[in-house]
């Protein structure tokens, strides 16, 4: 759903425009925010990604049990929930400021994604 000018890839198949734009945005953020806040937000994002991945694995185990799996997780129904609880515990140990920033940025991101996707999605 990216704009065509941003989604374009080079003749070598590299998405250079979106890579450069992402690098510029990251450089601006790095130049404006203190490193401690950037690392806290990166930790929050990583923990959220781990939680989403674990939940997706558990959902796929239930919804598509015959799906080919290239790796196995022993006791997935014990390890998975324990992983989610561990990540939630670590997330809640972050500062309240980090959790608020993380939530605000995610709400803004989802709102922009849904608003843009409603107009530009091929499925719409």
Q: Is the pLDDT of residue 17 over 70?
A: yes
pTM of the model: 0.80
Task: Please answer whether residues 5 and 17 qualify as being in contact, where contact means their C-beta atoms are separated by less than 8 angstroms.
Answer: yes
- The pLDDT of residue 124 is 57
At a CB cut-off of 8 Å and minimum separation 6, what does 40 contact?
Answer: 94, 95, 98
Greater pLDDT, 116 or 93: 93
Across residues 77-100, what is the average pLDDT? Answer: 97
Find out whether 98 and 37 touch, Cβ atoms under 8 Å.
yes
At residue 106 the predicted structure's pLDDT band, cuts being 50, 70 and 90, is very high
What pLDDT score was predicted for residue 13? 92
Average pLDDT, stretch 2-12?
Answer: 87
């Amino acid at each position: 759903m990216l704009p065509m000018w941003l989604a374009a890839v080079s003749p070598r198949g590299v998405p250079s425009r979106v890579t450069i734009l992402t690098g510029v945005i990251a450089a601006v953020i790095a130049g404006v925010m203190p490193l401690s806040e950037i690392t806290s937000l990166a930790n929050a994002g990583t923990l959220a990604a781990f939680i989403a991945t674990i939940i997706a694995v558990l959902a796929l185990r239930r919804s598509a049990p015959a799906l080919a799996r290239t790796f196995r997780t022993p006791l997935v129904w014990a390890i998975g929930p324990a992983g989610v609880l561990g990540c939630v515990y670590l997330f809640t140990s972050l500062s309240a400021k980090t959790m608020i920033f993380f939530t605000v940025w995610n709400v803004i991101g989802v709102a922009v994604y849904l608003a843009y996707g409603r107009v530009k999605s091929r499925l719409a």
